[in-house]
Amino acid sequence: MDYAIIVEELTKRFGRFTAVDSISFEVKKGEIFGFLGANGAGKTTAMRMLCGLSIPTSGKGSVAGFDIMNQTEYIKRNIGYMSQRFSLYEDLTVWENLRFFAAIYGIKDKEIERRGVRVLQELNFYEERNTLVKDLPLGWKQKLAFSTAIFHRPGIVFLDEPTGGVDPLTRRQFWELIYQTADSGITIFVTTHYMDEAEYCNRVSIMVNGRIEALGSPANLKQQYHAESMDNVFQQLARV
Amino acid sequence: MITVENLTKSYGEVEALKDISFHIDAGKIFGIIGPDGAGKTTLFRILTTLMMADSGQATVDGLDVVKDFARIRHCIGYMPGRFSLYQDLTVEENLHFYASVFNTSIKENYYLVQDIYKQIEPFKKRRAGDLSGGMKQKLALSCALIHRPKALMLDEPTTGVDPVSRKEFWSMLQRLKEQGITILVSTPYMDEATKCDHIALMQKGRLLSVDTPERIVAAYPDVLYAVTGDNNYRLLCKLKENKEVKMCYISGESLRVIFHKNNVPAIEGVEIRQVAPTIEDCFIQLMQ
């Protein structure tokens, strides 16, 4: 079995505070993995370590085949990242954004031209390629941000609350895009506060006070906690 | 307690509110449910007298939002979407400041905020800027309450908040309602709609529907089915090509499907059962 992420006893301390407390898990290639937890449970700290932005205090692991202790620059080059807060430059056009991010990852102009046109056509954005991003509806921005994050064809893409604030239909279209991407072999690592979205994942983990308290498929977790929904599983675990 | 009649507001070419009308009875929780860009914040700014509408009228407790703006400000508590307390004052200093602005004291109205404030009281010497998200939210609510307002206006208090803290927040609102406070609250989370007495579903400046959550669900015009297969994504692609299917989308562990003329086809290896729509299904239906 090939893994996109393997971590063992990953720990991060800030002074005397342990933000991430010896977590171990793996994510299979092509899997949609939901990373859940209450605010302050340690999700962001863990995610920063997985993205190569923060060095663990102890533990070991690899992301996209690179060591999280000493190969962080390779990790950054081989993953995609999208967050709700920072995703695109508002005062650049659709095309300029795509080109900018692709070029940062070292993709040649010709290749950007060829694939960029196709990506925009698939999203039905081609007509809007010269529109400033700030003039796009939020749902479009998020789809564009996602396509930009996977344009360099990373093995894994990290999505930090990607669907906040969009209408229910656009939210579902976004998840169809996620499914399609996972189907093409790219691993998806996603955080969300929408519990129906937890059900869309192949497996989810739930973090409580820096530790992973539960990990499994939504169906297994619901069975294990005698719960009807993932919301109920979450309420049982995360209430402290 | 609150009336809104034919409110309209544009920013340049963007119509943020298009002819909005509704009313809110005293002592109720009224939810404005809609995504970003629906016009929720514009509506709050008009009702809190911070902005004037282009046309239409609104009143709070019988007072006009334009003519009587100064009096309205005394009888409402407002919690804007963005954290807007003083980051470099401590928890206690913030609360004291808001009480003194309204000529009252923490002591006088402590009973009203006690339930919420006691949870952050152990950190009362900490600067507001150093609090966690959940604690900031509790402090902001305490500050909005400290002058004993008749109506509370909460603009997206639970956005970005985890499901457990969201549930706690709604129980706090329920207890405030029992004290007789009218609550206007907006949220992008459709599952919170059922915690409200009345809701307005809002999209792109328009009201799609205003009623009790129960009646909105009862008015759903189609028969909705949950469809489950081995691979929901592949199943979705297949159903989208099926001519019998009027609409289909993913929903939790299964798909939601509406069939033309309610003709349910037999599909091999797939479980189909009728389900009751949720507010989110109603919203999707009304968006069409």
- Please indicate whether, in this complex, the C-beta atoms of B163 and A235 are within 8 angstroms of each other: yes
Give the mean model confidence (pLDDT) for residues B250-267: 90
CATH of the domain at A44: 3.40.50.300
Model pLDDT, residue A1 = 59
Whether the CB-CB separation of B127 and B136 falls below 8 Å is answered with: no
| Best CA proximity match to A142, nearest among A102, A115, A98, A174 | A174
CB A190 within 8 A of CB A34: yes
Candidates A39, A175, A176; nearest CB to B162: A39
Question: How far is the C-alpha of A145 from the C-alpha of B275, rounded, in Å?
Answer: 35
State phi, psi for A80 to the nearest 5 degrees. Answer: -115, 150
State the DSSP code for B90: B
Q: What is the mean pLDDT of chain B?
A: 93
Nearest CA in chain A to B156: A165
* Interchain pair B132, A40: CB under 8 A: yes
Q: Does A25 touch chain B (CB under 8 A)?
A: no
* C-alpha distance from residue B274 to each of B214, B223, B258 (Å): 18, 7, 10
Write out chain A residues lying below 8 Å of B189, CB-based. Answer: 194
Q: Do A176 and B251 touch (CB under 8 A)?
A: no
Buried b (16+ CB within 10 A) or exposed e, A195-226: bbbbbbbebbbbbbebebebbbebeebbeebe
Residue A24, SS3? strand
pLDDT of residue B269: 83
Query: What does the pLDDT average to over B125-135?
Result: 88
**Per-residue pLDDT at B250:** 92
The pairs formed by B110-118 with CB atoms below 8 angstroms and a separation of 24 or more are: B112/B145, B112/B146, B112/B148, B112/B179, B113/B141, B113/B142, B113/B145, B113/B146, B115/B172, B115/B175, B116/B141, B116/B142, B116/B145, B116/B172, B117/B142
Give the ranges where chain A is alpha helix by DSSP (H): 43-50, 72-78, 94-104, 109-122, 138-149, 168-183, 195-199, 218-224, 230-238
Average pLDDT over chain A, rounded to an integer:
93
Residue B158: CB partners within 8 Å, gap ≥ 6? B165, B166, B169, B170, B187, B189, B192
Check B252 against A172: CB less than 8 A apart.
no
3-state SS assignment for residue A113: helix
> For residue A86, what pLDDT is reported?
67
User: Would you state the pLDDT for residue B105?
Assistant: 93
pLDDT at res. B84: 83
Rg (CA), chain A: 18
A183-209: pLDDT as tens digits: 999 999 999 988 889 999 999 999 999
Residue B102: what pLDDT?
Answer: 93
The mean-pLDDT minimum among A161-165, B11-15, B25-29 falls in A161-165
Give per-residue pLDDT as tens, A105-162. Answer: 999 999 999 999 999 998 888 999 999 999 988 888 999 999 999 999 999 999 998 9
pLDDT at B162 over 90: no
Other C-beta atoms lying within 10 Å of the C-beta of residue B87: 13
Pairwise CA distance, residues B179 & B59, whole Å: 22
* Residue B273: pLDDT over 80: yes
CB B160 within 8 A of CB B133: yes
Mean pLDDT of B227-242: 90
> Which DSSP symbol is given to B195?
G
DSSP conformation class of A112? H
B20 has which bridge partners? B7
Q: How long a stretch of residues is chain A?
A: 240
State ipTM.
0.83
Query: How close A219 gets to chain B, by Cα (Å)?
Result: 8
Q: Give residue-wise pLDDT tens across range A40-69.
A: 899 989 999 999 999 999 999 999 999 999
Q: Which helix (H) or strand (E) holds B216?
A: helix B213-218
Q: How many residues does chain B have?
A: 288
pLDDT (0 to 100) of residue A240: 61
Provide the residue ranges of all domains of chain B, joining segments of one domain with +.
2-218, 225-287
What's the domain count of chain A?
A: 1
Instruction: State the Cα angle at A134 between A149 and B87, rounded to 5°.
Output: 90
Alpha-carbon distance of A203 to A191, in angstroms, equals 12
Per-residue pLDDT at B137: 87
Give the model's confidence band at A219: pLDDT under 50 very low, under 70 low, under 90 confident, else very high: very high
B35 and A167 in contact by Cβ < 8 A? yes
CATH superfamily for domain B2-218:
P-loop containing nucleotide triphosphate hydrolases (3.40.50.300)
Give A165's contacts in chain B (Cβ within 8 Å): 35-36, 159, 188
What pLDDT sits at residue B132?
Answer: 80
Chain B closest-CA separation from residue A142 CA (Å): 13
pLDDT at residue B288 above 90? no
Do residues B3 and B65 make contact, with C-beta atoms less than 8 angstroms apart? no
Q: Which residue has the tokens 């530790």?
A: A211
Query: For residue A223, what are the domain limits?
Result: 3-238
pLDDT score at B121: 92
Sign of torsion over alpha carbons A85, A175, A177, A107 = positive
